[in-house]
Chain A
Amino acid sequence: MRIPPSAQEIFDAGEVLPPAEMARRQLRGLNRAVRFAAANLPFYQRVFAEAGLAPEPVRSFDEYARRVPSIRKADVAGAVRAAGTGQIGIEALGGRRLSNVVMTSGTLGFNTFAFLTPSDLRGGSLLNSLRELWIVGVRPGMKVLTLSPAWHALALLDTRGLTALGAEAVIPWGTFAPRFVPNFLDAVVAHRPEHILLTAPVLRGMIEECDRREADARDVFASVRYIACAGESLSAPYRRHVIERTGIDDLFERGGSSDGMFGGGECFAHRGHHISADLHYVEVIDPVSGELLAPGRRGVPLVTNLLRGRSVYIRFNTEDVAAIVPGECPCGRTDPVIELYGRLSDSVVLEDRIVAPADIREALDTIPDFMGQPFQIEHAGPARIRIAMGVTRPWAMLSRATDAVRSALRIDATVTISENLAVGWKGQVMRGG
């Protein structure tokens, strides 16, 4: 794969195809994916047969949404349970040697498995990784602090991407859990990386650890130009806060779904995630009606992988809240930009809108004492929500937080304290925990 000059913003021509050409290629890719699955992948043969899918190709994205059935995490998990094996007939390996198996995030309390071959890891998935690393500022020869929690597909793809970019990797001990934050910070101090790839809770922990050590975060992060965080959406106030505290040039968000095996990074415009349209097709549908939604409208994203040589997901509902961001991106890329707002199960679906964790985070992060603190959104009436915080704060501060949420979302909301929020190993709120 050809690596462009460091100063170039775009990684390759695939990111800047004219929209009509991109759409034409995607439609062709979708038909190929469905045809291949119908002929070769037992899981989809069953799903398509149950839906009565006719073999004729689709001619538009609308027709694709109408005719091709969608699948959910529960379908994949159910197939694993029923088969008693992780290999369930979604593996488009084409007789190639299997190289790696990874797990999905297990948000339903059940991890499913994805299978990868070297042909994909050197082909489409590597291209996806390179574009994602490039867009978040990783450049050839950079010293990058990272980890390889190797159960997760993103870790494998980052590894191959960093190899192709000739980056020098600094790997502290541990995983992306709060207890390893000191290792991360020590590694930054000792090795002076230019870029850091991590998760948002660990970044929060690192800044808190600077405070605990009475160290100036600007000194600690003096060598770091960029940080890219995966795992949750970052609010604009939090991004400003991190840049201000650490003195880095920019903070990027990375997003996607380990379940649907797709993802992308933000560009400098921070409008959402650029998704490689020649590798994945993402549509957004209404979670209740299943209707295909136009750009700008919120729903749940469905991904179809246009790749082979790995497990393939066709119209896979990731059960997140998302919207396709309308308009042209200032970075010049023409591929679709998807904004992700959190998990649907962590959101409240009202009659006229979906209130997602990212909405609340955006409002609460305007108040320093609430920045980054865990919370849960609850339905409190037909057009009313309650936000249960996992930290104790004085009443006046809660009142201020309530005002901030009401004013930002124009919704009847109350911020309260809950002692019953369960926090998971990554520092995230475990709904129903």
Chain B
Amino acid sequence: MPATPAGLHQLATHAEREHDPFAGRRSAAAEPAVVIQAADGAPVYLALTREDIAATARALSSAWKTLGVAGGDTVLIYDYGASPLTLFASWCYVPHLEKGAADLLGAVPICNDGLPEFASRALHVLRYLRPGVTIVDAAHMPVFLRRVAEERARIGEWTRLLAVSPDDEAAGPREIAAWERELDLPVRLLLRSGPALFFAAQCEAGALHADPRHYRVEVAPVEGSEPVAVGEGSLCITNRFLRGTSVERYLANVEVAIERGLCSCGRSSRPFRCLA
């Protein structure tokens, strides 16, 4: 019987009520090598085995590949070192990982850390390292844009793509178009969900793709309803690779539309879009 969809709020409530930091999702049989907090301030953690850590890096690299990250690229990450976006990028960012997303693709990562105060440092990295791809946590976009404007930085000359990464929340096409206009630079989404260790990236045709080897993606049309494979509703994620923590039908705080047909980009996964 499939699990009942549950979001971060339900997991946090369970964790506090049962004094279980894993919110009932930890597999007793698996030996964790690393434990990470799922989200800022949430009392929910994920226990990860060595295999989980390697597989998460593969899932992130798949998303990076969709964004067009290639061998020889430098990738700037403006997010906290503890964010899954950063942790699984390099073999040197989380213990017990031998190949991070960057290592798998032959790219070189540089992390800026995630404090808003570090927006100007992100620009500093852009100016002096010219990363091919720049990934910015969506929460930092207002301060990042402000710094770009204040420094009159033409970041389109320093990086070829900006990937904006909302965590367990949506960013709509209008927002992305506004960022593109303001920065004069292609902007794509790198949707993620910390509690599900989920990554989905926007392809060149504008659709989001989650690698079906790593995730089953569904939508819950209304609260409490049974998730379905196609249609509009809350994004519902099943992580196929985690062994230390079971993530089945995690209900992300993101409204999406999963399309029936295939994407014009040629990827085999069902394309989906964030709803504004």
Contacts and interface: CB of A to CB of B under 8 A. Distances in A.
A170 interface: yes
A170 B96 CA distance: 12
Contacts of B37: 171-173, 183, 187
B110 A102 contact: yes
Interface stretch (A45-53, A61-69, A151-159, A295-303): A151-159
A272 B35 CA distance: 32
B108 interface: yes
A148 B93 contact: yes
A173 to B, nearest CB: 4
B272 interface: no
B43 interface: yes
Contacts of B110: 100-103, 113, 151
Nearest to A112: B128
A171 B93 contact: no
B114 interface: yes
B94 A169 contact: yes
Interface string B7-47: 00000000000000100000000001111111111110100
B238 interface: no
A150 B91 contact: no
Contacts of A190: 21, 43, 45
B91 A99 contact: yes
Contacts of A182: 41
Determine the interface band of chain A, counting residues with CB < 8 A from chain B: 35 or more
Contacts of B115: 175, 177, 425
A150 B92 contact: yes
A86 interface: yes
A149 B86 CA distance: 9
B109 interface: yes
A180 B114 CA distance: 12
B81 A170 contact: no
B90 A150 contact: yes
Interface in A106-137: 106, 110-111, 113, 116, 121
A285 to B, nearest CB: 30
Nearest to A193: B35
Which 5 A-B residue pairs are closest in the complex by CB-CB distance? Answer: A150-B111, A156-B92, A190-B21, A150-B81, A173-B37
Interface of A: 80, 84-86, 98-103, 106, 110-111, 113, 116, 121, 147-151, 155-156, 159-160, 162-163, 167-175, 177, 180, 182-183, 186-187, 190-191, 425
